[in-house]
C-alpha cells in the first residue's frame, strides 16, 4: 500500500567491486562495536552494546527451531504462534495487552523463519521497564485465546487464498518440494488451508512449552542500558523458562539439484532461478565462497552477472547471486527476470558467466576489490542502527562465530587467495544446477 | 494492499513529515548534539548538515527538485530513466568508476525518483565524504551520453516496468486508479512512465532534461555525519561550490485539479487474483498546499482512522466484526502539490467486498459525525513524536526526511516545528478534515477482482 512510487536504480541497494585505482585513500570504518557478554544469575546470557546517543533500547532474540519444528499435519503452527504474542498474555486479554503496549510506546514484533522464532522490541529508554514487563508476559504466559486465534488464523487463510492463483507463489512451492523432497524445508511454512483449520489452542500451548526454553535462546540488546541492569532484566524476561527445549531432531539435507522445473503461465516476464550447492559456514572454504559469490553476483552494480546481463545487454532490471545458509542446508542461488522472448538468451548468458567462473576463477584485481568491499561494507551494512546491530549479534551467536568475529573477519577475508576462490568456484559451479523458469512458452526455452 | 498494519504504520511515518525537533526535546541533554545546520552556497545550492556522532560514517545525498511530475508531455518516465543514465560516466570518470570507488571502501550507493524529486546517495566512511562530493559534483555537470548506452539502459528500465508493474495486478490497478483520481495534475502519470512513451525516450530527451534541471541552484545537499558543519561546509565549497549557477528555473507551477465532483470506480479482473480487495482515494492538500494545521490534521486523521492495530478500521473491521483480513488508511503529506488520502480493505471468510466497503464508509461517517476522542488523539500524537526519536537511529532515515521535505517546499524550520504543530491539532480539526475531504460521493475507488470461474 505504498503510495510513494519511488523507483530505485536497483532494488537491493548493494554494490560490489572490481578493481580500481582511485585517488581515494580511505580506510574502511573500523567496526568499533564493543560487545559485552552479560550472564544473569540464572544463567541467561546476552550480548550487549551499550550506547546512549539515542535514548532507546532495542532487544532482539531468537528461540531456535521455527517452522522446521511444525509437527507433520500441523504446518503453519510456528507462523500462527508468532502472530499471537501481542494478542494477550497473563491476565491481559488481547485488547488490554495492545492498549498497554501502545501506552508504553513500545514496538514489539514476533516472526518465524524455517529455523527460529524471532522477537524484537524497541522502546524509549524511559519506558523500558514497562515494555519489558509486557515482553515477559508475552514470552512466558501467552494466552492463545480462541478469539484472537481464530482471527489471526483467518487472516492467514486469506493470505493463502490470495496466493492460490499467483503463479510465482505456486512456483516457489513447487520449487521447495522439488529441491528438498521430504525434508521439513519442503513443507509450506505458512501452512495449508487444511493444516491451519486443524490447529487448536492446545497445539499452540504445547508448541510454546516445547520451544520457549533457555537452551535454544540467543539474545542481543543495544542502546541505553548498562550490564548490571540488563543482568536483572534477563532473569525477569527469560529466567522462568524451562531449561531445555523439547525439539524433534531435524536431519541435514542435500538439496536435489540437476533438475528443471518449467511453469508455463502467460506473464509479461519470465523469471529464472538456479540453485547450485553452497557451503557450511564452518567449512574452511567458506570465505573463499563468500568472495566468489561477491564477484559473481553478490553486490549488484559491478558484479559479473550485473555487467553481462544488465549493463551490457539490458536483459533485466535485477540479477544477482546469493549464498543461503540455513541451519540444515545451504545453496548458492541465482535469480533474475526478463522479457519472455529473451529468456533463452538470458539463461545462456548466465550459464556462460558461470562456466567462466568455474573454469578460470577470478582475477587478482576482482578478488582484491571484492575483499575490500566486504571488509569495508560490514559496519555500514550490518551495524548502521540499533536494530541492525541487534540482528547481527543474534545471528553471530546462532552461527557460533564468537564475540570476536567482527574483529577476526577482515583477516579471514585477507587470507583467501585467487587459487582458493578458483578451487571453490570449480567445486560449487561445475555441476548441473536446479533450474526453474516461470513464464509464457517456457517449454520451448532451452534451460541447459 | 494486504500490508501488515505494523509495517504500514512505519511506512506511513516514514512518508509523513516525521522528523525530530530540538523543541520536542528541549529538556533532554542531547538537544545541542542534534542541532541541524542549514546554509546556502553562493551558487544557490542549499545544504543541510545533520549531526550524528555515533560512528565515522556519513550519508551524503543530493536531492534535485525535479521528478516525474515535471516531465514534458509525451515524455513520461524521462526523470527516472535519466536517473539511471547518471551512472554512465563523465568526461572525467569513465562509466562504473564512481561505483567502483564506493565499492572499494565498502560504501553503499543508489538513487531514486519520485513525483517531485530525484535523489542520489552514498553511505561511506566519513573520510571519503569530500571525494563523494567531488564525484557527485562532477556528474552534475560533465555527464557523457551516447546512443548505445541510452538504448541498453532503456531496455533495463523497460524490464523494471515489467517487473514492478506489469507483473503485479495490484500495481497495475494502482496505476489506473491514480490515472483516474487525478484529472489534470501530472501525478496521474506513473513515475516509471507509460510503456509506449518509455520505448521512445532517447538521448536528446535525456540531454535536455539534464541541462535544464541538474544545476546547483536546483539541488539540496543533505549530509548526515559525525563531521561538524564547518568541515562539511568547507568541503562543499571546494566541490559543489566550484560549479556555476544555472539559469533560474521558473517556479514549479503545474496543472492543478479541477473541483472533484464525481464518484469514479476502476475495476481490474485478473486470473492471478483469488481474493478481492479495494482502495478508495480522495484528493487532499499536502503540507505544501494546505492551510495552517490542515495537513497535520490529515496526518492524525489517517493515524486514528487506519494507522495500525489500534486504529478504528482495524479494530472495527478486523477485530470486532471479523469481516476483513486487513483494513487501513494512509496519507502522504510530503508532496509539492495536492496529494491523496487512501483507505483500503480486504474481506475475509464469508464476508464480501461490499460489506468491507460499507463498513469502511461507516467508520468515516462516524468520525465526520461524532469526531475522535481526546484519548485517541493524544495517543496518535504520542506515536508520531515517538517515531521521530526512533528515526534518529538510522542516518539515512534522517537524511530522507530532510531531503524529501525540502524538495517539496518545506523549510528546516517547518520540520523542526512539526511536533509542536501536531501537538496543537484539536479533535474538532480532525473531524473537520474528515467532513471536508473524505466525502463518499466524490471518491475514486479501485476494485481488484478474481476472474469468475465457470460453475462458481
Inspect the interface and report whether the beta carbons of B106 and A311 lie closer than 8 Å: no
Task: Please check whether residue A188 touches B, CB under 8 A.
Answer: no
Window A:49-88, CB contacts with B under 8 Å: 51, 53-56, 58, 86
Inspect the interface and report whether the beta carbons of B159 and A17 lie closer than 8 Å: no
Inspect the interface and report whether the beta carbons of A301 and B309 lie closer than 8 Å: no
Q: Which residues of chain A neighbour B383 with C-beta distances below 8 Å?
A: 102, 105
Query: What are the C-alpha distances in Å from A200 to residues A148, A196, A319, B163, B319?
Result: 12, 9, 43, 40, 19
Across the range B162-191, mean pLDDT stands at 97
Find the helix packing angle between A364-382 and B97-104, rounded to 10°. Answer: 70
Q: What percent of chain B has pLDDT over 70?
A: 92
Confidence grade of residue B452 (pLDDT, cut at 50, 70, 90): confident
Across the range B117-145, mean pLDDT stands at 97
Task: Please check whether residue A295 touches B, CB under 8 A.
Answer: no
Chains A and B form CB pairs within 8 A to the count of 264
CA distance A403 to A388: 16
Structural domains in chain A, CATH included, are 35-239 (3.30.830.10), 259-439 (3.30.830.10)
Give pLDDT, residue A152: 97
Q: Which residues of chain A neighbour B395 with C-beta distances below 8 Å?
A: 384
For residue B403, the Cα-to-chain-centroid distance in whole angstroms is 10
Which residues, at least 6 apart from B265, have a Cβ–Cβ distance to it below 8 Å? Answer: B444, B445, B446, B447
Give pLDDT, residue B35: 87
Q: Is A59 helix (H, G, I), strand (E, B) or coil?
A: strand
Q: Is A363 helix (H, G, I), strand (E, B) or coil?
A: coil
Cell of A326: 540455513
Provide the residue-wise pLDDT of chain A in tens; the chain has 448 residues. Answer: 223 334 444 433 222 222 223 334 455 555 568 999 999 999 999 999 999 988 999 999 999 999 999 999 999 999 999 999 999 999 999 999 999 999 999 999 999 999 999 999 999 999 999 999 999 999 999 999 999 999 999 999 999 999 999 999 999 999 999 999 999 999 999 999 999 999 999 999 999 999 999 999 999 999 999 999 999 999 999 999 999 999 999 999 999 999 999 999 999 999 999 999 999 999 999 999 999 999 999 875 889 999 999 999 999 999 999 999 999 999 999 999 999 999 999 999 999 999 999 999 999 999 999 999 999 999 999 998 999 999 999 999 999 999 999 999 999 999 999 999 999 999 999 999 999 999 999 998 988 7
Q: Which residues of chain B neighbour A301 with C-beta distances below 8 Å?
A: 87, 96, 99, 103, 109
Inspect the interface and report whether the beta carbons of A3 and B332 lie closer than 8 Å: yes
CA distance B337 to B339: 6
Instruction: Give the H or E element holding residue A172.
Output: helix A167-180
Among chain B residues, the shortest Cα distance to A14 is held by B108
Inspect the interface and report whether the beta carbons of A164 and B274 lie closer than 8 Å: yes
Among chain A residues, the shortest Cα distance to B277 is held by A162
Q: Is A235 helix (H, G, I), strand (E, B) or coil?
A: helix
pLDDT (tens digit, 9 = 90+) per residue, B298-337?
999 999 999 999 999 999 999 999 999 999 999 999 999 9
Please report the ipTM that was assigned to this predicted complex: 0.90
Give pLDDT, residue B13: 32
Kindly report the nearest CA distance between residue B157 and chain A, in angstroms.
7
Kindly report the nearest CA distance between residue A187 and chain B, in angstroms.
22
Task: Please check whether residue A21 touches B, CB under 8 A.
Answer: no
Cell of B366: 462516524
Higher pLDDT, B177 or B31: B177
B264-450, what's its fold? Answer: Cytochrome Bc1 Complex; Chain A, domain 1 (3.30.830)
The 3-class SS string of chain B reads: CCCCHHHHHHHHHHHCCCCCCCHHHCCCHHHHHHCCEEEECCCCCEEEEEECCCCCEEEEEEEECCCHHHCCCCCCCHHHHHHHHCCCCECCCCCCHHHHHHHHCCCEEEEEECCCCEEEEEEEEHHHHHHHHHHHHHHHHCECCCHHHHHHHHHHHHHHHHHHHHCCHHHHHHHHHHHHHCCCCHHHCCCCCCHHHHCCCCHHHHHHHHHHHCCHHHEEEEEEECCCHHHHHHHHHHCHHHCCCCCCCCCCCCCCCCCCCCCEEEEEEECCCCCCEEEEEEEECCCCCCCCCHHHHHHHHHHHHHCCCCCHHHHHHHHHCCCEEEEEEEECCCCCCCEEEEEEEEECCCCCHHHHHHHHHHHHHHHHHHCCCHHHHHHHHHHHHHHHHHHCCCHHHHHHHHHHHHHCCCCHHHHHHHHHHHHHCCHHHHHHHHHHHCCHHHCEEEEEEECCCCCC
Cell of B278: 479495494
Query: What are the C-alpha distances in Å from A426 to residues A289, A308, A359, A372?
Result: 11, 20, 6, 23
For residue A75, the Cα-to-chain-centroid distance in whole angstroms is 20
DSSP conformation letters of A178-234: HHHTTSGGGS-TT--HHHHHT--HHHHHHHHHHH--GGGEEEEEEES--HHHHHHHH
Query: What are the C-alpha distances in Å from B316 to residues A421, B161, B319, B346, B349?
Result: 58, 37, 6, 13, 16
Which residues, at least 6 apart from A234, have a Cβ–Cβ distance to it below 8 Å? Answer: A38, A40, A42, A44, A45, A46, A219
Kindly report the nearest CA distance between residue A429 and chain B, in angstroms.
25
Inspect the interface and report whether the beta carbons of B2 and A158 lie closer than 8 Å: yes
Task: Please check whether residue A337 touches B, CB under 8 A.
Answer: yes
Smallest Cβ distance to A302: which of B100, B325, B326? B100
Confidence grade of residue B29 (pLDDT, cut at 50, 70, 90): very low
Task: Please check whether residue A381 touches B, CB under 8 A.
Answer: yes
Inspect the interface and report whether the beta carbons of A24 and B104 lie closer than 8 Å: yes
Q: Which residues of chain B neighbour A18 with C-beta distances below 8 Å?
A: 100, 103
| Domain ranges across chain B | 37-242, 264-450
Task: Please check whether residue A197 touches B, CB under 8 A.
Answer: no
Kindly report the nearest CA distance between residue B148 and chain A, in angstroms.
10
Give pLDDT, residue B388: 86
Q: Give yes or no for a contact between B123 and A380, defined as CB atoms under 8 angstroms apart.
A: yes
Would you give the DSSP letter of residue A318? -
Kindly report the nearest CA distance between residue B143 and chain A, in angstroms.
17
Inspect the interface and report whether the beta carbons of B159 and A27 lie closer than 8 Å: no
The 3-class SS string of B423-438 reads: HHCCHHHHHHHHHHHC
Smallest Cβ distance to B110: which of A10, A86, A166? A10
* Residues of B involved in catalysis: 83
Q: Which residues of chain B neighbour A9 with C-beta distances below 8 Å?
A: 83-84, 87, 110-112
Give pLDDT, residue B218: 98
pLDDT (tens digit, 9 = 90+) per residue, B404-430?
999 999 999 999 999 999 999 999 999
Would you give the DSSP letter of residue A306? I
Cell of A234: 534477563
Window A:233-262, CB contacts with B under 8 Å: none
Give pLDDT, residue B34: 63
Inspect the interface and report whether the beta carbons of B103 and A1 lie closer than 8 Å: no
Would you give the DSSP letter of residue A307? I
Instruction: Give the H or E element holding residue A159.
Output: helix A146-163
Higher pLDDT, B7 or A138: A138
Query: What are the C-alpha distances in Å from A188 to residues A77, A92, A195, A400, B277?
Result: 11, 32, 10, 28, 24
Give pLDDT, residue A14: 27
Q: Which class in CATH covers the domain with range B37-242?
A: alpha beta
pLDDT (tens digit, 9 = 90+) per residue, B58-104?
999 999 999 999 999 999 999 999 999 999 999 999 999 999 999 98
Inspect the interface and report whether the beta carbons of B105 and A24 lie closer than 8 Å: yes
pTM (predicted TM-score): 0.92
Amino acid at each position: 500500500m505504498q503510495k510513494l512510487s519511488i523507483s530505485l536504480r536497483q532494488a537491493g541497494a548493494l554494490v560490489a567491486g572490481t578493481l580500481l585505482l582511485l585517488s581515494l585513500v580511505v580506510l574502511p570504518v573500523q567496526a568499533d562495536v564493543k560487545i559485552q557478554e552479560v550472564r544473569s544469575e540464572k544463567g541467561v546470557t546476552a550480548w550487549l552494546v551499550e550506547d546512549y546517543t539515542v535514548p532507546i533500547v532495542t532487544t532482539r532474540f531468537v528461540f531456535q527451531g521455527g517452522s522446521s519444528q511444525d509437527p507433520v499435519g500441523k504446518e503453519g503452527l510456528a507462523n500462527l504462534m508468532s502472530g499471537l504474542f501481542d494478542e494477550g498474555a497473563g491476565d491481559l486479554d488481547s485488547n488490554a495487552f495492545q492498549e498497554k503496549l501502545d501506552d508504553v510506546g513500545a514496538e514489539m514484533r514476533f516472526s518465524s523463519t524455517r529455523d527460529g522464532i524471532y522477537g524484537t522490541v524497541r522502546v524509549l529508554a524511559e519506558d523500558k521497564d514497562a515494555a519489558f514487563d509486557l515482553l515477559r508476559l508475552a514470552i512466558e504466559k501467552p494466552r492463545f485465546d480462541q478469539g484472537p486465534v481464530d482471527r489471526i488464523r483467518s487472516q492467514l487463510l486469506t493470505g493463502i487464498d490470495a496466493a492460490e492463483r499467483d503463479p510465482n507463489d505456486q512456483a516457489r512451492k513447487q520449487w521447495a518440494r522439488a529441491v528438498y523432497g521430504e525434508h521439513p524445508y519442503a513443507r509450506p511454512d505458512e501452512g495449508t488451508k487444511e493444516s491451519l483449520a486443524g490447529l487448536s489452542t492446545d497445539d499452540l500451548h504445547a508448541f510454546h512449552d516445547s520451544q520457549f526454553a533457555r537452551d535454544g535462546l540467543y539474545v542481543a540488546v543495544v542502546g541505553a542500558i548498562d550490564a548490571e541492569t540488563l543482568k536483572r532484566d534477563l532473569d525477569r524476561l527469560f529466567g522462568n523458562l524451562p531449561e531445555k527445549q523439547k525439539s524433534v531432531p531435524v536431519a541435514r539435507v542435500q538439496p536435489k539439484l540437476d533438475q528443471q522445473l518449467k511453469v508455463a503461465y502467460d506473464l509479461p516476464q519470465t523469471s529464472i532461478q538456479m540453485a547450485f550447492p553452497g557451503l557450511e559456514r564452518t567449512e574452511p572454504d567458506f570465505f573463499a565462497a563468500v568472495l566468489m559469490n561477491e564477484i559473481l553476483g553478490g553486490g549488484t552494480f559491478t558484479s559479473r552477472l550485473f555487467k553481462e546481463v544488465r549493463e551490457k545487454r539490458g536483459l533485466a532490471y535485477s540479477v544477482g547471486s546469493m549464498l543461503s545458509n540455513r541451519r540444515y542446508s545451504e545453496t548458492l542461488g541465482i535469480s533474475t527476470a526478463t522479457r519472455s522472448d529473451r529468456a533463452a538468451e538470458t539463461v545462456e548468458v548466465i550459464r556462460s558467466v558461470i562456466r567462466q567462473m568455474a573454469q578460470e576463477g577470478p582475477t587478482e584485481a576482482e578478488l582484491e576489490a571484492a575483499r575490500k568491499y566486504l571488509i569495508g561494507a560490514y559496519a555500514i551494512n550490518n551495524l548502521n542502527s540499533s536494530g541492525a546491530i541487534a540482528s547481527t549479534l543474534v545471528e553471530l551467536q546462532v552461527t557460533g562465530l564468537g564475540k570476536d568475529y567482527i574483529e577476526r573477519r577482515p583477516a579471514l577475508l585477507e587470507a583467501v587467495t585467487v587459487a582458493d576462490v578458483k578451487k571453490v568456484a570449480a567445486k560449487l559451479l561445475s555441476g548441473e544446477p536446479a533450474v526453474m523458469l516461470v513464464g509464457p512458452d517456457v517449454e520451448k526455452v532451452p534451460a541447459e | 494492499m494486504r500490508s501488515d498494519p505494523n509495517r504500514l504504520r512505519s511506512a506511513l511515518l516514514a512518508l509523513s513529515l516525521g522528523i525530530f525537533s530540538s523543541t520536542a526535546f528541549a529538556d533532554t541533554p542531547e538537544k545541542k548534539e542534534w542541532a541541524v545546520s542549514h546554509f546556502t552556497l553562493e551558487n544557490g545550492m542549499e545544504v543541510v548538515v545533520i549531526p550524528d556522532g555515533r560512528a565515522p560514517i556519513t550519508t551524503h545525498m543530493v536531492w534535485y527538485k525535479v521528478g516525474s511530475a515535471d516531465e514534458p508531455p509525451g515524455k513520461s518516465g524521462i526523470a527516472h530513466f535519466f536517473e539511471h543514465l547518471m551512472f554512465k560516466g563523465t568526461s572525467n570518470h569513465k562509466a562504473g568508476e564512481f561505483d567502483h570507488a564506493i565499492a572499494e571502501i565498502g560504501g553503499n550507493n543508489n538513487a531514486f525518483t519520485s513525483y517531485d524529486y530525484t535523489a542520489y546517495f552514498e553511505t561511506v566512511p566519513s573520510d571519503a565524504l569530500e571525494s563523494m562530493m567531488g564525484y557527485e559534483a562532477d556528474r552534475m555537470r560533465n555527464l557523457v551520453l551516447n546512443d548505445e548506452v541510452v538504448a541498453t539502459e532503456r531496455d533495463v528500465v523497460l524490464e523494471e516496468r515489467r517487473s514492478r508493474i506489469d507483473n503485479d495486478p495490484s500495481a497495475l490497478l494502482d496505476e489506473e486508479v491514480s490515472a483516474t483520481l487525478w484529472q489534470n495534475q501530472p501525478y496521474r502519470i506513473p513515475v516509471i512512465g507509460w510503456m509506449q512513451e518509455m520505448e521512445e525516450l532517447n538521448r536528446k530527451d535525456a540531454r535536455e532534461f539534464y541541462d535544464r534541471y541538474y544545476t546547483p541552484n536546483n539541488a539540496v545537499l543533505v549530509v548526515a555525519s559525525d563531521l561538524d558543519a564547518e568541515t562539511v561546509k568547507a568541503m562543499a565549497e571546494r566541490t559543489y561550490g566550484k560549479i556555476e549557477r544555472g539559469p533560474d528555473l521558473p517556479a514549479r507551477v503545474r496543472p492543478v485539479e479541477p473541483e472533484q465532483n464525481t464518484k469514479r470506480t476502476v475495476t481490474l479482473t485478473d486470473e492471478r487474483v483469488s481474493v478481492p480487495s479495494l482502495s478508495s482515494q480522495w484528493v487532499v492538500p499536502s503540507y505544501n498546499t494546505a492551510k495552517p494545521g490542515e495537513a497535520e490534521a490529515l496526518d492524525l486523521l489517517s493515524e486514528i482512522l487506519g494507522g495500525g492495530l489500534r486504529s478504528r478500521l482495524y479494530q472495527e473491521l478486523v477485530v470486532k466484526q471479523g469481516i476483513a483480513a486487513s483494513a487501513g488508511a494512509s496519507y502522504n503529506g510530503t508532496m509539492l502539490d495536492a496529494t491523496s488520502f487512501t483507505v483500503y480493505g480486504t474481506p475475509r471468510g464469508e464476508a464480501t467486498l461490499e460489506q468491507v466497503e460499507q463498513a469502511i464508509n461507516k467508520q468515516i461517517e462516524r468520525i465526520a459525525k461524532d469526531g475522535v476522542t481526546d484519548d485517541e488523539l493524544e495517543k496518535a500524537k504520542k506515536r508520531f513524536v515517538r517515531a521521530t526519536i526512533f528515526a534518529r537511529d538510522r542516518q539515512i532515515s534522517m537524511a530522507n526526511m530532510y531531503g524529501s521535505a525540502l524538495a517539496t517546499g518545506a523549510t528546516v524550520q517547518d520540520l523542526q516545528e512539526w511536533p509542536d504543530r501536531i501537538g496543537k491539532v484539536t479533535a474538532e480539526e480532525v473531524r473537520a478534515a474528515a467532513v471536508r475531504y473524505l466525502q463518499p460521493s466524490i471518491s475514486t475507488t479501485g476494485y481488484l477482482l478474481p476472474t469468475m470461474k465457470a460453475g462458481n
